[in-house]
Amino acid sequence: MTESAPESEYPPISEQLDDIDAARTEGRRKMDWAAQHMPILEHVGEEFEADQPFEGERIGMAMHVEAKTAILVETLADGGAEVAVTGCNPLSTHDDVSAALDTHENITSYAKREVDDEEYYAAIEAVIGHEPTITVDDGMDLVAAIHEDYPELIDSIVGGCEETTTGVHRLRAMAEDGALEYPVFAVNDTPMKRLFDNVHGTGESSLASIAMTTNLSWAGKDVVVAGYGYCGKGVAKKAAGQNANVIVTEVEPRRALEAHMEGYDVMPMAEAAEVGDVFLTTTGNRDVIVREHFERMNDGVLLANAGHFDIEIDLEALDDLAADRYEARDGVEAYELDDGRRLNVIAEGRLVNLAAPVSLGHPVEVMDQSFGVQAACVRELVENGDEYEPGVHDVPDDLDREIAEIKLTADGVEFDSLSETQREYMGSWQHGT
Amino acid sequence: MTESAPESEYPPISEQLDDIDAARTEGRRKMDWAAQHMPILEHVGEEFEADQPFEGERIGMAMHVEAKTAILVETLADGGAEVAVTGCNPLSTHDDVSAALDTHENITSYAKREVDDEEYYAAIEAVIGHEPTITVDDGMDLVAAIHEDYPELIDSIVGGCEETTTGVHRLRAMAEDGALEYPVFAVNDTPMKRLFDNVHGTGESSLASIAMTTNLSWAGKDVVVAGYGYCGKGVAKKAAGQNANVIVTEVEPRRALEAHMEGYDVMPMAEAAEVGDVFLTTTGNRDVIVREHFERMNDGVLLANAGHFDIEIDLEALDDLAADRYEARDGVEAYELDDGRRLNVIAEGRLVNLAAPVSLGHPVEVMDQSFGVQAACVRELVENGDEYEPGVHDVPDDLDREIAEIKLTADGVEFDSLSETQREYMGSWQHGT
Amino acid sequence: MTESAPESEYPPISEQLDDIDAARTEGRRKMDWAAQHMPILEHVGEEFEADQPFEGERIGMAMHVEAKTAILVETLADGGAEVAVTGCNPLSTHDDVSAALDTHENITSYAKREVDDEEYYAAIEAVIGHEPTITVDDGMDLVAAIHEDYPELIDSIVGGCEETTTGVHRLRAMAEDGALEYPVFAVNDTPMKRLFDNVHGTGESSLASIAMTTNLSWAGKDVVVAGYGYCGKGVAKKAAGQNANVIVTEVEPRRALEAHMEGYDVMPMAEAAEVGDVFLTTTGNRDVIVREHFERMNDGVLLANAGHFDIEIDLEALDDLAADRYEARDGVEAYELDDGRRLNVIAEGRLVNLAAPVSLGHPVEVMDQSFGVQAACVRELVENGDEYEPGVHDVPDDLDREIAEIKLTADGVEFDSLSETQREYMGSWQHGT
Amino acid sequence: MTESAPESEYPPISEQLDDIDAARTEGRRKMDWAAQHMPILEHVGEEFEADQPFEGERIGMAMHVEAKTAILVETLADGGAEVAVTGCNPLSTHDDVSAALDTHENITSYAKREVDDEEYYAAIEAVIGHEPTITVDDGMDLVAAIHEDYPELIDSIVGGCEETTTGVHRLRAMAEDGALEYPVFAVNDTPMKRLFDNVHGTGESSLASIAMTTNLSWAGKDVVVAGYGYCGKGVAKKAAGQNANVIVTEVEPRRALEAHMEGYDVMPMAEAAEVGDVFLTTTGNRDVIVREHFERMNDGVLLANAGHFDIEIDLEALDDLAADRYEARDGVEAYELDDGRRLNVIAEGRLVNLAAPVSLGHPVEVMDQSFGVQAACVRELVENGDEYEPGVHDVPDDLDREIAEIKLTADGVEFDSLSETQREYMGSWQHGT
């Protein structure tokens, strides 16, 4: 240990729980289920276990510690790394999973649910106290804390990975200011992630969460999807696949045209407000559904957000407008207007596939894909980290490609490869003209 | 009261619960949510309230007493009937809803959850003690008890309604033996019910239940649907709509051909067993997935039933075959074979959209449709009951049609009507040949 | 020959064409293509050739004589029958195919294109002159002529088959009057025919015909489908599958509801007229699109009929309304209104998948299915004809089932069969209750 | 005229045709139909006619001269340009359309069908003889000829537009060699073009062309799509939308995974060859279907190309393999193998939506979109041409966006716009983190 690392006395989860054995058993059960459906990490893990690529590395992680993430943590630890992990959100940790992780000889887990601010940052310091050579963030907490408070550690850091859009955005801002002093992979931005996570993952889990929160069905419903980016495409496609009549609102004409050409109704929100049965925001912007829209809605509509922050639906304005407000059902807040119309907000306008009481977060397979890329990026840092300048880096194309291949193999899907002649032809295909 | 009616001392729910007020509040909250999304019953209820068609009638009901059914009970009571109701299954009653119902001045509810056999039948007797002039059954418990034990009551009974396939099936057998002594409408068999309940309702709720039980997604999964009747069509269609690759197994060649022409893969179960990721039985038959199939399945498959009884998947054989068996997750039992493969059975092979821990039963709109037909049938019995012979009767076509019209109107959907010329042309369209 | 049969001098096609050899070659080429894609008739034909079930029978046929029908004619002839065939419409015969048929030693073909009325009926008499023991009609011309003019022949007739809805309709009227004196199978009404022919066949071929007539695409178009019966469902489904936004108009509320639950927009034609880009009638009724609708339509709309007769779109009213009228394109008549709006009628409002210049009629596979049932029915008449009373008969369920099996086998699709236990369970499934 | 321009004596079409008046009438009829369905060019044309932006410009064009292109030519001429146009392919000109164009006072058309090489280049020289200030190419013939033979003209050229992938590819090669001396817009590469042209246009028109060439249907067919780029996605999507069972072959694992996640079967061509009914190549590569694949195919399969050149299916190898070869149908060549299996090649393996006898080329709406961008680019060159360096330029984002807006407006589709708050939030959305 260098002098600069924090000397933390914050205890790992095992020293914080009462019935640690029961927690470990339950945590392991959750992890086993996830592992059973994460063939990419299974494959990568077998390779890591055989090759021990992380021998001598210390990996610091700040992630949502639940079953799926735990499999990534374990996979890295099984590859020889010493891993210290904590949460990246005061509410998202599953203590039992954290406890199960902490039993691994290479892993120390500080993640605990419902910690206060002080504890939250103490746990981050505790992770940094392990003097990580690699950081893995979901929201750049570790990168930020290290740069601000422990810059002396940076020299021994090979690089990092960042999972979220928000984190990547802030890292890019840091990099532009010349303030980011080691290379970080923007795992969030890979093409595969968009397809898996945004289109299929968000689409399916948002709709299932709403159905299982409300006991309502989709067939014949007018479903208004605000925004036709990747998430919006996913929600629209899956809703149409449940026989909803999809209405899209957009501000970008080319996306609006794309939705129109797909066969969806496209109209302004002010008009959609009058006909929609369910409204799903996916824009990443604020004030997408506001007072003038609430005023036009029918009795009994559902309002949910599958975008990012809880500012897409203007709940403050809705509260102002409402004569009454009550919990209509677990996960459903009814706002009753003067004339008796009830507008039902699901999961307080927060991300519906994460925040509804029945929600389980992203599907396992989605995280397998994303964490497979994480694992490959960590390996890349160990093997070729010195080739990357400080700054934000796209995931190298061949890593992303490799993960796709592993997934296909795991799913039993074979595909073709280019013949020599074909490769040559593609390389210089003006031959044919 | 005639001498023949049972003199029951079985108490209504209000005398059985401790915190009756809290129960009533919660029950009412559940009912309010359902009512908000049952426009057909809302419309019918307004008519009934105005016309009081059931003035002087006593309706005996044995149904699953939960929020949706409660709205039907209330609708009938608001139409002037004196209603006595109990459960039709010892486990399906929501006590809070039962309590909320029992506050209605026209309703006495005996339904209580987790009653033993003696209590269950005592409650049925209590309902019969009200000397119903009309019975509404879900499984023909009332019809059976009256015919067996209180035949003297039959004279004053106008008729009945039966909700389930099973009930209708047994009533038909009774009728064939000449033993059914009053007319009963087979509400289960209407064309609308097949469409709503089987195709859309079962399809959507089965898939959402599985997704929210397992945290898995559908995209790219090989989903094997056993049986291509109405339920199978629904499950297949909705699974394809979530980007699953659907495989259908069938025993009837025309249904197999229909599935093939739809673009699905069709193959025998023995072959499907080797490639499927998820298996859903919808046949209504037994032994659809058996030992020889389990033996060929991949590690991690999901097995669920969306048909009828829990005999479609031969769990006994699976238990014999398994080296170990444990709860992998709430609602998921893992059967581990000798070679480590894990076959995961959802909801013990019982109806997955009802029996999984997260399940909410049929979607509200589906029950609205079905109960709308019930309500119309009860009115038909009161108005024209003497026109029906004892026996099982199809729901009159115009009632079914009327409910469809109400639903369309409620959803704001307008449609055309035939002009005089068109009606004439259709009546004698050989004109055109 | 009995005295009663007509003594016809009407010559077969071979004596009517100039370059008979070229015609035969071209006709055979067309037939070969059809045969290549008619696996059901291929299979049935092999059986017939081996068993010679029609030895000694004389089959009279009045059908659209083109490549697909020709394969049915040949299949019957190869099974040992002596076949005499003519057209069932003065315009639908392909002379080259007729010539190719006429070379078969068991076949005499009188079918010729563009015959006048006298010739048309002379050809029918010529067929009757062969004293058929079995008749196969597409529009009941043979049945009618025999009953009216040659009733003495009826005694030696085993039975008949009728292909079209219209024919069946008229036969039923005859039967009701007690005037139909031999049994006729209503081939048109089988469940398989509805699926293949109406849903898939009409749907696909109507849309492809319109696309290839107009050079327009479907994506993003508002396509109004009038009527949601089998044809309407097919057109709607296939249009949605090309990314059109489908709008359905209906007069029957349950069908309207079915369309609504499928996720389509449902509205009255008067409203649809204002938003539609393409209008397709499939109702089988008259006056579906009339003056008040034309008045509201946008410039450039397409109007086509995929129902039955050319009376679904009121072209007379449109002509009255139009200031000008001209051929905008082969198969497209533009009606230009006073204000310059152009309404484009495809194929004169006749069945668009048959009457557009590029149209090829029903897809080969559809006719294979339909003619497979025809062939099986003819065999049934020979084998068990005496079991059928005079009148119109549904195709026996097992024949329809058998054809489905043959098709599945031909397409390489295997399916399951019931075990003994399963069969028993289904037979008495109240066991489970 | 400068000395450097060619002095051509090659006559315009009007001097080459016999019945010029009939040709003009027919050409105009074709153009009218196209114009009726090209709302983007209609809108742009009205603007141009009012503003006369091309006053004083001379536009040289080498394009496929048929109805749709003709509307672009006319639109530019109506905007004040003097336009000289010829074909870009010796076979694609419609003489009647060329003649109709040539009647416009601002247009000289040299395009003629079936010209020999000498005439073809003479016509190009004739266009160059007009000393164009702007060039519009489909295959860079004008750019190439000017750079090679008339470099003195370059000084007065503002810039050019190129329509095709191939042309853009070659222009980029020129630019890399420093040989391209004026700016050229790569119209082909806009995102909108991929969506419209490749996904919807190619998908729909390829399938409709095959259906109307073969009289076959898609329902239940195993359709093998080679390549899952934009064209492949379109073909797969539209085939699935006709109830085909889609099988995708790919060489790029991420595209293979994308297809797998969509729910399609993915497998190597060697395996797909054994099960496919129809094969469509969309790879842009060569030797996609070769001898080893032909050897495994079933009797009666269809082979077609929707990619680019006619080298995706190795017809030479197929010819070697075949025992016989004949025209099975217009547009279908049957290759019969030794054992009697027939493999049917549509349109000689050339682009099936262009080269099949019934084909009409790209749908009108697709070309409207593409030509709308062309028109906007020409205007951009006139207005801001001096801002562009010599070389290949992407179409400016706002032009593409503008065309999308025009299309939406023409289709009656409204959409939202960002509020000030929203714009600000998006600009600095780390606010929310």
Give binding residues of A for NAD(+) as ranges. 164-166, 198, 227-234, 250, 285, 306-308, 353, 362
Exposure b/e, C409-422, CB count within 10 A at least 16 = b: ebbebebbebeeeb
* CB–CB contact B268 C416 (8 Å): yes
Spell B51-72 as b/e; 16+ CB within 10 A means b: eebbeebbbbbbbbbbbbbbbb
Q: Are the beta carbons of B261 and C196 separated by less than 8 Å? A: yes
Q: Which residue of B has its CA nearest to C419?
A: B287
- Å between C275 CA and nearest CA of chain A: 12
pLDDT at A92: 86
Mutate to test the interface with C, among B406, B415, B421, B426 (most CBs of C within 10 A): B415
Amino acid in position A342: R
Number of alpha carbons in the 13 Å side-chain half-sphere of residue B230: 15
Q: Is the dihedral of CA B63, B69, B75, B78 positive or negative?
A: positive
Find the residue in A nearest to D256 (Cα).
A415
Q: What would the pLDDT profile of D237-291 be if each residue is shown by its tens digit? A: 999 999 999 999 999 999 999 999 999 999 999 999 999 999 999 998 999 999 9
At D89 the pLDDT is 86
Q: How far is the alpha carbon of A382 from chain C, nearest alpha carbon, in Å? A: 48
Q: Which residue has the tokens 């996609």?
A: D288
Q: List, in sequence order, every residue forming a beta bridge with D245; answer none if it has no partner.
A: D222
Q: Which residues of B touch D253 (CB under 8 A)?
A: none
Interface chains of chain A (3 or more CB pairs under 8 Å)? B, C, D
Q: Judge whether C46 and C128 are in contact, CB under 8 Å.
A: no
Distance CA D364, CA D367 (A): 5
Spans of all domains in chain B? 13-193+362-410, 201-355
D171-190 as b/e: b if 16+ CB within 10 A:
bbebbeeeebbbbbbbbbeb
Q: Which of C170, C260, C286 sits opposite B425 (nearest CB)?
A: C286
Could you give the CA distance from residue D193 to residue A406 in angstroms, rounded to a whole number?
Answer: 33
Chain A nearest C-alpha distance from D71 (Å): 22
Q: Structure pTM?
A: 0.94
Tokens of A184: 């970080």
- C226 phi/psi in degrees, rounded to 5: -90, 115
Q: Is the pLDDT of residue A433 over 50?
A: no
Q: Which of C208, C220, C328 sits opposite D411 (nearest CB)?
A: C220
Average pLDDT, chain A: 94
Residue A97 exposure: Cα atoms within 13 Å on the Cβ side:
26
Instruction: Convert the pLDDT of each residue in A59-82 to its tens digit.
Output: 999 999 999 999 999 999 999 999
Among C218, C299, C365, the residue with its CB nearest the CB of D204 is: C218
Express each pLDDT in C44-62 by its tens digit.
999 999 999 999 999 999 9
Q: Which has more confidence, B6 or D315?
A: D315
Interface of D with C in 18-47 (CB under 8 A): 29-30, 32-34, 36-37
> Which of B139, B44, B157 has the alpha carbon at shortest distance from B385?
B157
- Report the CATH architecture of A201-355: 3-Layer(aba) Sandwich (3.40)
Q: Which fold has domain B13-193+362-410?
A: Rossmann fold (3.40.50)
The answer, for C357 touching chain D at a CB cutoff of 8 Å, is: no
Judge whether residue C322 has pLDDT over 60: yes
Read off the pLDDT of residues C246-289 as tens digits, 9 standing for 90 and up: 999 999 999 999 999 999 999 999 999 999 999 999 998 999 99
For the stretch D317-324, contacts whose Cβ atoms lie closer than 8 Å and that sit 24 or more positions apart, written own/partner, are D317/D290, D317/D291, D318/D291, D318/D294, D318/D343, D318/D345, D320/D291, D321/D291, D321/D294, D321/D295
Residue B392 host element (H or E)? strand B391-393
Contact B263/D at CB under 8 A = yes
Q: What's the CA gap between A317 and D143, in Å, rounded?
A: 60
Q: Does C325 touch chain D (CB under 8 A)?
A: no
CB-CB neighbors (< 8 A) of D191 in chain A: 254
pLDDT of A3 reads 55
Q: Is the CB of residue B106 less than 8 Å from the CB of residue B36?
A: no
Which residues 149-178 of C have a C-beta within 8 angstroms of B?
166, 169-170, 173
ipTM of the complex: 0.93
* Angstrom distance (rounded) from CA C279 to CA C315: 14
HEC string of D200-254 equals HHHHHHHHHHHHHHHCCCCCCCEEEEECCCHHHHHHHHHHHCCCCEEEEECCCHH
> Residue B36 in contact with residue A300, Cβ under 8 Å?
yes
Question: What is the SS3 assignment for C321?
Answer: helix
- Residues D226/D282, Cβ–Cβ less than 8 Å: yes
pLDDT digits (tens, 9 = 90+) for D205-233: 999 999 999 999 999 999 999 999 999 99
The candidate with the shortest Cα–Cα distance to D128, out of D112, D150, D109, D108, is: D150
Q: Is it true that D13-193+362-410 and D201-355 share their CATH fold?
A: yes
Q: Closest partner residue to A360 among B212, B240, B360, by Cβ?
A: B212
Three-class HEC string of A303-356: EEECCCCCCCECHHHHHHHCCEEEEEECCEEEEECCCCCEEEEEHHHCEHHHHC
Q: What is the DSSP string of B163-226?
A: -SHHHHHHHHHHHHTT---SEEEEGGG-HHHIIIIIIIIIHHHHHHHHHHHH----TT-EEEEE
Q: Are B218 and B227 in contact (CB under 8 A)?
A: no
Provide mean pLDDT across the span C178-207: 91
Rounded to whole angstroms, the Cα distance separating A376 from A403 reads: 8
Q: What is the pLDDT of residues A333-353, one digit of tens each?
A: 999 999 999 999 999 999 999
Chain B neighbours (≥3 Cβ pairs under 8 A) are: A, C, D
Residue C3: is its pLDDT beyond 80? no
User: Which residues 65-124 of B are in CB contact (within 8 Å) with A?
Assistant: none
Calculate mean pLDDT across residues A314-335.
97
Tell which of A257, A267, A426 to mutate to test the D interface (max D CBs under 10 Å). Answer: A257
C169/B433 touch (CB, cutoff 8 Å), yes or no: yes
φ/ψ (deg, to 5) at C428: -145, 55
% pLDDT > 70, chain A: 98
Residue in C68, C97, C217 to test binding to D, most D beta-carbons within 10 Å = C217
Closest CA to B393 of B195, B158, B234: B158
Chain B residue numbers with beta carbons less than 8 Å from the beta carbon of A219 are 200, 204, 365
pLDDT in tens, D88-135: 988 889 999 999 999 999 999 999 999 999 999 999 999 999 999 999
Tell me how crowded residue C2 is: count the other CB atoms within 10 A of its CB. 10
Q: Which helix (H) or strand (E) holds B135?
A: strand B134-137
Q: What is the tens place of the pLDDT at every residue in A7-29? A: 888 999 999 998 999 999 999 99
Cβ contact, residue pair C207, D212, below 8 Å: no
Measure the CA–CA gap between B376 and A177, rounded to whole angstroms.
72
Beta partners for residue B249, in sequence order: B226
Q: Going by C-beta distance under 8 Å and a sequence separation of 6 or more, which residues neighbour residue C39?
A: C368, C406, C407, C410, C411
Q: What is the pLDDT of residue B1?
A: 45
**C229 lies within 8 A of chain B by CB:** no
Taking the C-alpha atoms of residue A400 and residue B414, their distance in angstroms, rounded to an integer, is 51
Asked if A249 contacts A268 with a C-beta cutoff of 8 angstroms, the reply is yes
CA A404 to chain centre: 18
Report yes or no: D1 at the B interface, CB cutoff 8 Å. Answer: no
Residue C330: is it exposed, middle or buried by C-beta count within 10 angstroms (0-12/13-18/19+)? exposed
The reply to whether A194 touches chain D by the CB within 8 Å rule is no
**DSSP secondary structure letters along C366-398:** HHHHHHHHHHHHHHHHHHHGGGSPSEEEPPPHH
**CA–CA separation, B77 and B84 (whole Å):** 10
Looking at residue D243, its pLDDT comes to 98
Residues of chain B with pLDDT under 50: 1, 429-433
The two tokens of residue A79 are: 């590859």
Q: Which of B207, B13, B244 is nearest to B115 (CA)?
A: B13
Question: pLDDT exceeding 70 applies to what percent of chain D?
Answer: 98
